[in-house]
Amino acid sequence: NLTIDEVMAFARLAFHLKRDIIQPQLVNEACGLDIPPEILPVSISIFLSNAIEIPLDSVQDCWEILSDYAWSLSEAPLFKADYVTFKQFGWELGLTAVTIYPSSDVCTNMDCPCIVPLKKDMQQQAVVYTHNLGVQPAWYIHIYCPTCKTSYHNNYSVCDGIPTYLQVGEHQFVDHKVVKMWRNQMLLGWFSASNAAHLYTITLSEDEYLVSCGLSDRPTTDHVWDAFVILSLLEDHVSQGTLLTVPHTGNQCDWFKVAMEDRTSWIIMQGQPNAVQHVCDKCMRIFEGRDGQFHECQLTACVCTLILAL
């Protein structure tokens, strides 16, 4: 017998592990993001057994009763205690509270005849710098279409606004709320990128969530700057209804140079949005004309507003 709290916890955790439950299922299994599978993976069953404190042989019975409800949830945010549960019972099974998947589990290449869910995946360990739970270990999953040879990552394409997590390194992701905090610290508090990273480490990293997978749990100056640029460019393109397209080859420090140059050129020609009232000694000159009248001359874009643009 399960209490109401245990039923809700079972459904919440199962919903949160939805993609982990679907990915190992056979291609011909009649399941997907809308239809729950009949059988849970062994690791998921063990985790739910330990997390809910029910016998392992009872998990499948609970799943048969609660699977449709868990799958029908539109959202079920984890409680803070759930993150502790994942640390206690999930990490050793390869399950983390944060797992980053591509947005779709099927090939989106319109020229590709493949229509079945993609099951060939590669997993990488990662760390996520969260807003209120410090540094969290994570799995970063990318899937591969064997037909058209396309590899899908979580940032292969981005739509519907700003993603929750921005990738700032091969194994590092940052919650977009943290990026906004860093940006405001730098723009309004005159923080350096290194000080913003250090402040996060000493205030938001909690010892109970320290990563044991061999990856550093400290954000770097480069992470802060990359996050600053990525978020600002994404927000700019969202506001204009345009697409931000960057290469996926070469060094990451070079990926956004062209996009930043295009943004700067646009501001030089059009002016900085929401900065019509801006004047300073760098962009405004007042002089007395031959007619004895005072005149003003102002640049379309000031270096101050160019900085604010990014």
HSE-CB for 35 with a 13 A CA cutoff? 7
For the whole model, what pTM was predicted? 0.81
Whether residues 137 and 176 share a domain: the answer is: yes
Q: Could you tell me the pLDDT band of residue 159, with boundaries at 50, 70 and 90?
A: low
**Same domain? 108 vs 221:** yes
User: What is the rounded CA–CA span in Å between residue 13 and residue 163?
Assistant: 22
What's the mean pLDDT in 57-75? Answer: 92
Domain limits for position 54: 1-95
Residues 234 and 122 in one domain: yes
Q: 219 and 276 in one domain?
A: no
Q: Are 208 and 284 contained in the same domain?
A: no
Domain count, the chain: 3
272: confidence class by pLDDT, cuts 50, 70, 90: low
**Are 139 and 205 found together in one domain?**
yes
The conformational region for residue 174 under phi > 0 = left, psi -120 to 50 = alpha, else beta, is beta
- Cα→Cα distances 237→28, 113, 160, 230, 276, Å: 40, 32, 12, 11, 20
What is the pLDDT confidence band of residue 160, given thresholds at 50, 70 and 90?
low
Q: Pick the last residue of a domain from 204, 220, 250.
A: 250
Q: Is the pLDDT of residue 308 over 70?
A: no
Same domain membership, residue 176 and residue 285: no
CB contact at 8 A, 119 and 155: no
Mean pLDDT of 238-252: 77
Please tell me the predicted confidence (pLDDT) of residue 224.
95
CB 24 within 8 A of CB 42: no
Asked which of 250, 266, 290 is the last residue of a domain, the reply is 250
Claim to verify: residue 244 and residue 129 sit in the same structural domain: yes
Question: Which residues have C-beta within 8 Å of that of residue 116, sequence separation ≥ 6?
Answer: 27, 106
Domain boundary among 250, 267, 293: 250
- 216 and 173 part of one domain: yes
Contacts of 12 (CB under 8 A, 6+ apart): 70, 73, 76, 78, 79, 82
Task: Give Cα 234 distance to the centre of its chain.
Answer: 12
Regarding whether 229 and 123 lie in a shared domain, the answer is yes
212 and 275 inside one domain: no
Q: Is residue 31 domain-shared with residue 121, that is, in the same domain?
A: no
